[in-house]
Amino acid sequence: MILERLVVVRRYLYRQLAAGDEELLSRDGIAAYLKRINSQEVELRVTERDAARAQRLLESSPQLVEEWRDPIECPNCRSADPAPRPPYVLMGAAIGFIFSAVLIARGYSADGAAVALLTVAVGFVLWPRVARWQCRACGATYATPRAR
Ligand SMILES: [Zn+2]
């Protein structure tokens, strides 16, 4: 087998997001290779020869990827290279639910239910407000993309 140079045609935050694209390319006879680039991100690579065709195919496919690509432009310096921050809201919610489960287990069902409801309500309010991204270039943190 002749080794060909591979070029990156798309990056994914999670391996699972790449499955559809990999299939799309292989249906068209393009060999796609997935390469893990760190603990969770993967890159979709094709041979140089197939790169242009692969790009066209990918552009025509509706992308799950856009969902995470959207929030990545830094509102401060417009760099598109953020690092995901720990999900503080989810961690807080987990503590709320554990507390609620403990209350229910001890017989305080009404209090437990109230805590669970409150946890959902607070999480719902905080989720879009807490910074989920940190820019690698300037260090700014942000939750939502800059309005375009
Ligand atoms: Zn920045």
19 to each of 12, 13, 61, 112, how far by Cα in Å?
10, 12, 13, 40
Evaluated on CA atoms 12, 14, 20, 23, the torsion sign reads positive
Distance of CA 56 to the CA centre of its chain: 23
pLDDT reported for residue 63: 56
Evaluated on CA atoms 124, 40, 72, 130, the torsion sign reads positive
Greater pLDDT, 113 or 2: 113
44 to each of 10, 97, 119, how far by Cα in Å?
5, 38, 38
Q: What is the mean pLDDT of residues 110-128?
A: 92
82 alpha carbon – ligand 1 mean position (Å) = 8
90 alpha carbon – ligand 1 mean position (Å) = 24
Backbone angles phi, psi at 32, to 5 degrees: -115, 140
pLDDT reported for residue 144: 64
Of all residues in the chain, the percent with pLDDT exceeding 70 is: 86
142 alpha carbon – ligand 1 mean position (Å) = 9
Whether pLDDT at 34 is above 50: yes
pTM as predicted: 0.46
120 alpha carbon – ligand 1 mean position (Å) = 31
pLDDT single digits (tens) 37-93: 887 788 999 999 999 999 888 887 665 544 444 456 788 888 877 888 888 888 999
77 alpha carbon – ligand 1 mean position (Å) = 4
Greater pLDDT, 37 or 116: 116
Q: What is the mean pLDDT of residues 99-126?
A: 94
Backbone angles phi, psi at 68, to 5 degrees: -95, -20
